[in-house]
Amino acid sequence: MWELVHSDSPRISNAKGSVNSAKSHSFFISWMFEAMNYIVPYCSVSSTRHQLFEAYYRRFGSDFHASALELLRARQQLAKQLGFRCWADYELRPLSEVAQDSHAASKLFEDCWRHLEPAVASAVQKMKGKAGVLQQPDEAYYWTLHGRAVEALKLAEYLPAEQALERLVDVLGRACNITFRALPARSWWQTGWHSGVRCFEVLDGPPLGIAAGGGRCLGYVYVELYGTWRGTRPLAPGALLLAPGHVYLGLHLQAPSMGMTKLLTPEDATMMAHELGHAVHMLCFSGSAQEFQDLPLDLLELPSTFAEVLATKPEVVGEYARHHQSGDGPPNSLLQVAQANPNFFAQKLQSWNVSLGLHSDFDAFAATPSELQDRAVSLWQRYSKVAASGSFSPLGEDAGGCLALGANQVAYLLCYLRTATLLRGKSAQGKSALKRWLSPDAAGKLRAQLLDQRFNSERLATLLPTLQEEGMSQLPHPLPPLPSESKPGLFQNLR
Ligand SMILES: [Zn+2]
């Protein structure tokens, strides 16, 4: 049990005894994002949760919101000069019709919330039964209890990083008819990569059967598992097309201590799958690098979202999870824990709605920093069943990152919706879901219809209405319309 001890610097100590007598048990923590993400959800002492929460959000004051206002003002002005009503309309223009401007995107959030809200409300009701009044600083902890997050830590025992990576690329290879062949570790002198980078050759053709690994070389993937901490924050994971046929994946996981085995959380494993999905798309895509960059975001993120969601399916977890010591597969009770719970999507809607709302119906030129904070809170509150605390600013959490990146995160929602449809399908001749998802037939369709497709994309004409006036026509979105059943489908099987 921990309690917060105030001294010159904030610190947490073992709850037994005072600061002095417990000095050997005390350690410093900084009020960073990590404290909110890794301590508050597991901290059983309510007063500590509240103190951490207050200390963290106190850092996001007027100066912070004034900087956000400057960013919003610059974008607002630029959007007007480009002929758009607001920045969100400019960024959403290339997306599928159902989210092609800020009003359509807002409506899509509302539609999805209608399907998601009952599950969130029922979970929050149960938490209130345990907590009495459920306050915002306590919410993460009660979701941990409700979602059995401790089981996610048990599943980590079955996800040693190096082996999980090799098994994940095998699963993804079967889903996309490609073979990842691990290349022997070479020295920096031979490859230019340091020894911590795992190199794979990617071949056309499935990893199993007669044609195993026999196809042409599609390229190479260089996976850097561990990040070095630069400054105070780790870098976000990402995929980078270095040159045609060469993809770098920086996963930036925290390296294990000397002699220890790195175990992945289910979130780490699905993040890994997401970035590998980008790599596969970059290598299969038949157009130029510029054509790839010009694809709309809801298409660019679809293969990676597909890989991410596939890696959360219990049947698929059973394929790549093996105990780090015994090599045994996980018990059935742990197979579901990688699947998203209702709070996963509620938190996304909260953050995405903040960045969308602040980039559309909010006049940054007329607003003060505190009005910006109030507006952000009300946009966040739209999709939260728990009232925001007085000191809270959504820009201090994920919504701040979303705001910095832009206003088009609805593209990810479109990808989750399309993936739900892709993975649901009809079970052909009683095939199990796993066999269907990883069959050469399904993989062939995925390749032909999505991964190998060049697609027509002319982003310039989409984004500059003046060019359209001069006769450059806007091409229709390359993907088919979103099926209406995708919305209930996405929120049906949440953990
Ligand atoms: Zn992505």
Q: Write the pLDDT tens digit of every residue in 149-171.
A: 788 889 999 999 999 999 999 99
Task: List the beta bridge partners of residue 240.
Answer: 248
Q: Is the CB of residue 403 less than 8 Å from the CB of residue 354?
A: yes
Residue 417 Cα to ligand 1 midpoint, Å, equals 15
Residue 118 Cα to ligand 1 midpoint, Å, equals 28
Burial of 76 (0-12, 13-18, 19+ CB in 10 A): buried
Ranges of the chain whose pLDDT falls below 50: 1-23
Residue 274 Cα to ligand 1 midpoint, Å, equals 6
Residue 386 Cα to ligand 1 midpoint, Å, equals 29
Residue 490: the pLDDT is: 87
Q: Which residues contact residue 304 at a Cβ distance below 8 angstroms, ignoring those fewer than 6 apart?
A: 239, 274, 275, 276, 277, 278, 281, 415
Residue 226 Cα to ligand 1 midpoint, Å, equals 18
Residue 95 Cα to ligand 1 midpoint, Å, equals 15
Residue 12 Cα to ligand 1 midpoint, Å, equals 36
Residue 23 Cα to ligand 1 midpoint, Å, equals 44
Residue 277 Cα to ligand 1 midpoint, Å, equals 8
Residue 278 Cα to ligand 1 midpoint, Å, equals 7
Residue 239 Cα to ligand 1 midpoint, Å, equals 8
Residue 214 Cα to ligand 1 midpoint, Å, equals 29
Residue 345 Cα to ligand 1 midpoint, Å, equals 16
* Distance separating alpha carbons of residues 261 and 16, to the nearest angstrom: 31
CA atoms within 13 A on the CB side of 316: 28
Residue 411 Cα to ligand 1 midpoint, Å, equals 10
* Distance separating alpha carbons of residues 232 and 52, to the nearest angstrom: 18
* Distance separating alpha carbons of residues 424 and 177, to the nearest angstrom: 20
Residue 426: the pLDDT is: 56
Q: Report the b/e string of 50-66 with b at 16+ CB within 10 A.
A: bbbbebbbeebeeebbe
pLDDT tens string 28-38:
666 667 777 77
Residue 495: the pLDDT is: 73
Residue 154: the pLDDT is: 93
Domains 62-147+342-411 and 158-310 equal at CATH topology level: no
The CATH classification of domain 62-147+342-411, taken from the options 3.40.50.720, 3.20.20.140, 1.10.1370.10, 1.10.10.10: 1.10.1370.10
Continuous segment of H or E residues that includes residue 64: helix 62-81
Residue 267 Cα to ligand 1 midpoint, Å, equals 14
Residue 10: the pLDDT is: 42
Residue 133 Cα to ligand 1 midpoint, Å, equals 37
Backbone φ/ψ region at 459: left (φ over 0), alpha (ψ -120 to 50), beta: alpha
Residue 194 Cα to ligand 1 midpoint, Å, equals 25
Q: Where are the domains of the chain?
A: 2-57, 62-147+342-411, 158-310
Residue 2: the pLDDT is: 44
Whole-prediction pTM value? 0.90
The CATH classification of domain 158-310, taken from the options 3.40.390.10, 3.30.300.30, 3.40.50.150, 3.10.129.10: 3.40.390.10
Residue 185 Cα to ligand 1 midpoint, Å, equals 27
Residue 308 Cα to ligand 1 midpoint, Å, equals 9
Burial of 71 (0-12, 13-18, 19+ CB in 10 A): middle
pLDDT tens string 437-456:
999 999 999 999 999 998 87
Residue 221 Cα to ligand 1 midpoint, Å, equals 16
